[in-house]
Structure 1
């Protein structure tokens, strides 16, 4: 091996390799610290672009899922209220059947009518108080992305032919019979309203399941591109440490050789 004083190529090479190894060691430590193998565009420009796109898609899917969950809450709230209204209507019908039996005095019929009126008022109270985030759900004005719920006010349940629920009067035999027709129609209307709400809820739930699967796949794909394999990176880190130690040893030995040459000349 040629010995020189002005230049020490072996030491220069060792120093260059040490610098490269230290850079690799720093990068490996950064990947372990962040849990990502792509921390800047310089690491993998194409991979970062794809990962960012997948992240945007998964975030959008997450917001869609939240929106659908809100819609499910709306349908559950509406369905619960319509269930209470159905129970009240069935109770009113039972009283109307009782009144139509012909065995009650006028005073008794008036008392039944008073009870029925109380139930009708309760139905309207349910409609007035059933809301979600400040939006009334059962007054007939609710419409969200094409999903609407028919009015459940007593003044809208029934028809022109049978009369409306708010107007039933069972204090006469004729009125009691007509009230039964009105109640049957009202119960059917509320039932169809609940069926529509239930079908919409099922659709929202299906959409949530589909979006959740899509989002999981998007997040998994992003993780495959962006996230580091800790076990693999730990091996690389140990390799970098060994290389650094070897480079330091080689650099020290090269410098020792240069120093020995100087000592010989002295």
Structure 2
């Protein structure tokens, strides 16, 4: 090979390889410090596009999970109110049954009617007062179809509807028990039938709330599984294999050090030309 001072091919080759290894070492450092294999779209264009889409999907699923939990809390709030109303209606049945019996006189029936009036008042207070975030749930003013978004897509499969339109007040539009009269035996006998009808409606409505809570619990469990799988997919595509990156970094670091030494040797070889002039 001719000896030349204008072009040092050994130095050029050593510099090229050292730059390549230095770039690889810096890329490994970036991945080791961030924990991600993909830090920019240029690292893996297809992988970046897929992981970005999956991250968007994960965000929507997390929001849907929160919606499901809040929907469950809302339905449970309504159900707990209905539970107390049901307990008071059962107590009213006991009072009506006592008042309908001939062994109770006018004074006893007056006392029974007084307790019944207090219970009726409390039923109305609960029905008119139970709300979730300002939305009344038991006074009949709610929507017949209250829709909760519990999925990532705008479709019926990702929504749950709950009926909050039932009226649990004592009015005729609700339970229809406001006018019960326990001051007479005949009135108490009529009240027994009225309260039985009211209780049947209460148990039906409460059962629907219970079914909605169960449905939402399954929705929440399914969303948790979906988020887990999406997170695993993102990790597979985007996360760095730390053991592999450390091995690559060590290899590149050694090659950079060797390249630096070889570049110095290649540069020194040009000095050999001077021996020709001695």
TM-score (norm 1): 0.93
The Cα shift of 1:115 comes to 0.7
- Whether 2:120 is the aligned partner of 1:139: answer no
Root mean square deviation of aligned Cα: 1.5
Conserved in 2, the CA contact under 8 Å of 1:157 and 1:189? no
State how far apart, in whole Å, the 2-side matches of 1:97 and 1:23 are.
90
Q: Cα–Cα, structure 1 residues 19 and 91, in superposed 2: closer, same or farther, change >3 Å?
A: same
Deviations 1:123-158 (A, max 9, x none): 111112211111011112223113112111111344
Q: Which of the numbers 196, 219, 222 marks the counterpart of 1:210?
A: 222
Displaced runs of 4+ in structure 1, greater than 6 A? none
How big is each residue's C-alpha offset from its partner over 1:92-121, in whole Å with a ceiling of 9 and x where there is no partner? Answer: 111111111122221221121111110111
Of 189, 195, 199, which residue of structure 1 is paired with 2:201?
189
Deviations 1:177-213 (A, max 9, x none): 1111111111111111110001111111111111221
C-alpha distance in 1 between matches for 2:102 and 2:115:
18
Which whole-Å deviations, capped at 9, do the CAs of 1:61-97 have from their partners, x for residues lacking one? 1111111111100111111111111111111111111
Does residue 1:226 correspond to 2:238, yes or no?
yes
For residues 259 and 176 of structure 1, what CA distance do their matches in structure 2 show? Answer: 121
In structure 2, stretches of 5+ residues that fail to align are 148-160
Following superposition, the deviation at residue 264 of structure 1 comes to 5.7
CA distance in 1, matches of 2:168, 2:243: 62
Distance 1:264 1:182, change over 3 A: farther
What residue number does 1:151 align with? Answer: 167
Instruction: State the distance in 1 between where 2:272 and 2:117 align.
Output: 113
Match of residue 191 from structure 2: 179
